[in-house]
């Protein structure tokens, strides 16, 4: 059974957003990292890059597959999780603790297009 955290926003493509003020921390869900298996590489954008809801912002590669990362919200990248460059497997240890990018949100209204924990749980059938 996958870990799902209340208070986060979830996308159909298995990314989450943790909102803190005007910033969103974006990563992949616990369900997604279970499906991918051992994560061996994370492709991330650069700081100051613009990301757009519904568009690719990077990729996660595992020993089983590669998967594009689809941004759940739009904004400007203000930080990338540099720890993942050296140790991408941190996502397997705790996908929610090991976010991928931090963005300054450009339109908080986009969060209304995402699921809450109950919606995500229903979508993945748990």
The structural domains of the chain, with segments of one domain joined by +, span 9-124
Pick the CATH number of 9-124 from 2.160.20.80, 3.40.50.80, 2.40.50.100, 1.20.120.610: 2.40.50.100
d(C-alpha 59, C-alpha 67), whole Å: 6
- Rg for the chain, CA atoms, rounded: 13
Q: Is the pTM of this model over 0.75?
A: yes
**What percentage of the chain's residues is helix, strand, coil (to nearest 5)?**
25, 35, 40
Cβ atoms within 10 Å, residue 92:
17
Give every CB contact of residue 63 below 8 A, 6+ residues apart in sequence: 37, 38, 40
**What angle is formed at CA 96 by the lines to CA 76 and CA 3, rounded to 5 degrees?**
140
Confidence label for 4 from pLDDT (cuts 50, 70 and 90): very high
pLDDT tens, residue by residue, 6-58: 999 999 999 999 999 999 999 999 999 999 999 999 999 999 999 999 999 99
Portion of the chain with pLDDT greater than 90, in percent = 98
Dihedral angle sign, alpha carbons of residues 46, 50, 51, 57: negative
What pLDDT does residue 1 have? 82
Mean pLDDT of 69-82: 98
d(C-alpha 18, C-alpha 94), whole Å: 14
98 touches 75 (CB < 8 A): no
């Amino acid at each position: 059974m996958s870990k799902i955290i209340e208070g986060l926003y979830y996308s159909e493509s298995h990314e989450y957003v943790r909102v803190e003020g005007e910033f969103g921390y974006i990563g992949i869900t616990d369900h997604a990292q279970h499906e991918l298996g051992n994560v061996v590489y994370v492709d991330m954008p650069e700081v100051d890059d613009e990301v757009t809801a519904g568009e690719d912002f990077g990729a996660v590669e595992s020993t089983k597959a590669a998967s594009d990362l689809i941004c759940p919200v739009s904004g400007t990248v203000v930080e990338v999780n540099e720890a993942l460059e050296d140790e991408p497997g941190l996502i397997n240890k705790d996908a929610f603790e090991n976010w991928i990018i931090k963005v300054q949100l450009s339109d908080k209204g986009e969060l209304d297009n995402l699921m809450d924990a109950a919606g995500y749980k229903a979508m993945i059938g748990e």
